[in-house]
Structure formats: C-alpha cells, structure tokens
Amino acid sequence: MSNESGPVAVITGAASGIGRGLAEHAVTLGMRLVLADRDAVGLQALGDQLRENGAQVITCVTDVGDLVQVERLRDCAIEHFGAVDLLFNNAGVMQTGYSWEITDAQWQRMLDVNLGGVINGIRSFVPLLLRQGRAAHVINTASLAGLVSSPLMAPYNVTKQAVVALSETLHYELAMLGAPVSVSVLCPGPVASEIMASNQTVDTAGSSFSQLLDNTIRQGMTPAELATQVFAAVAQKRFWILPHKGFKPALERRVHSILEETNPQFHMTDVEEDAHAAR
C-alpha cells in the first residue's frame, strides 16, 4: 500500500511482461507510480487493478519513440506527484531475421523504440532529476543481447548494445558531476513475457529461430522474480543487473575472443542454458 510520501517511479512498457512485474513489485514497496505504455487498454487495466489495491497510480499513454510524448509523460508525473525518484526506461520490441532482409521500416522501428525510447527518457528526465538535487535512479532495460550477440537478431543486438553503451556513458557523466543520480542497466536473459508478439513477419530461416526464441522466452524467469532482483540491485545502487548467470561462459568467450583476436563463435546452447538456469 503506498502513502503520500512514497518514492515516485516512472515505468515505460508497463502494461505487460517485465514492466508490469516492476510495477506490481514497486507497489509492494509503497511507491507511487507513473505508468506508460502505447497499449492504452492494457495500461488502463493495470492502473485500475493497482488502484483497487490502494496504490497511487497514474497512467499516461505514451509512445517512447516520440520525444514530445515522453516530455508529456515527465510533465504528467510532475503535475501529479511533484517529483520523480526512479525512471525505468523499459519499453522494447523484438525483430528477428537475417540482417540483410530486415526492411528499412523494421530497422527504424527497432531504433526508434529500443534505442530512441531510452534516449528520449534520458533527455526528458535527467535534467529534471539533476534539478531536483536529491537521490534518484535511472534503470535502462537492455538485455543479454546487449553483451553477447546472437545471429538473426541484428536490430535487437544493435539497439541493446547501444543501450548498454548509453547507460555506461550516463553513469560516468553523472559521476563526473558528483550528481546524486545513479544508473543501472538491466541485462536479463529469457523472461516470460509477450515480447515475441511484437516480432514482425520474418523469412523461413528467421521464423524457425523465432519459434525457438519464443519457446525459450515462455519458459524464462517470471517477471515477479526479475523485479525482486531489480529492486534489490537498485537499493544497492548497482550498475550491472544480470539476473541470469548461465550466460557467463558466453561473455567470457566473447571477451577472450576480443583480447586474443580470435574469431567469435556462437553456441546456440547458450540461449537454452539461460532458460534452464532461470527455472
């Protein structure tokens, strides 16, 4: 149950999956919520459900790829709650297929939502967090794909690796300023969610890979378990949030391959091992 002075958390992509799990967990910590999603129906249903349980929640239909809408989200948060303490730049979409077969429109959608959404969140909210002059936290949802590339996921790998780079840069910049604003980057492996519903039509090779990915995600960690780990890391002001430990050999192999200048090799079992580790 939240109270009038609970921290204010803004969560994008809140209507489903990881964002929804974060929202439900935040309520148990007494936070006041500003929930954003482009899915107006799902967003309203979640807002109603949380309010019925006594939480202070506002919802704002937002396309994170549009800076004007993200600025409106910030203004809405300030109008209702007067401050923002946590910002979860979480909304994201999936696109599989061979790099060269993904259309302009598909590339653009991935860049706009997965990367543009985080850029817009940072540009809209960080100046506010700095002006507030008190502790605040920005949590950007990347992915294991932000650390290790898989075939047939080029726009996802590209945008998530950019989110990791952006998060590290922001962390350094805020530290340079001595600002009380912390940053985390969330890099989960498979989490049970609806993300594969956002995958657009792919070719034959891409579609069998999509099926494997879909199965792996459906068997992944629950959003509730993920949220518990995320809020524990935020309480510790931890930058890296890596809830799936099974991927570490893949990351070690990648670093080794870079340092030794040997050619990278992908092991499909890495994806499957992460799903098993999450169960």
Ligand X SMILES: NC(=O)c1ccc[n+]([C@@H]2O[C@H](COP(=O)([O-])OP(=O)(O)OC[C@H]3O[C@@H](n4cnc5c(N)ncnc54)[C@H](O)[C@@H]3O)[C@@H](O)[C@H]2O)c1
User: What is the distance between the alpha carbons of residues 15 and 37, in angstroms, rounded to a whole number?
Assistant: 6
243 touches ligand X by CB under 6 A: no
Active site residue 172: no
Rounded to the nearest whole angstrom, what is the least distance from the CB of residue 104 to ligand X in the complex?
18
Binding span for ligand X by CB under 6 A among 58-66, 167-175, 235-243, 257-265: 58-66
- The C-alpha angle with vertex 170 and arms to 234 and 117, in degrees rounded to 5, equals 85
Residues 6+ apart with CB under 8 A from 13: 19, 36, 37, 64, 90, 91, 92, 141
206 touches ligand X by CB under 6 A: no
Contact 26, 11 (CB under 8 A): yes
Nearer to ligand X, 206 or 223 (CB): 223
242 touches ligand X by CB under 6 A: no
Within residues 110-129, the interface with ligand X by CB under 6 A covers 113
Binding span for ligand X by CB under 6 A among 125-133, 183-191, 227-235, 249-257: 183-191
The size of the interface with ligand X (CB under 6 A), counted in residues, is 31
Binding span for ligand X by CB under 6 A among 1-9, 51-59, 62-70, 123-131: 62-70
Q: What is the DSSP string of 79-122?
A: HHHS--SEEEE-------B-GGGS-HHHHHHHIIIIIHHHHHHH
User: What is the distance between the alpha carbons of residues 203 and 97, in angstroms, rounded to a whole number?
Assistant: 6
Residues at the interface with ligand X (CB under 6 A): 12-13, 15-19, 37-39, 42, 62-65, 90-93, 113, 141, 143, 188, 190-191, 193-195, 198, 217, 220
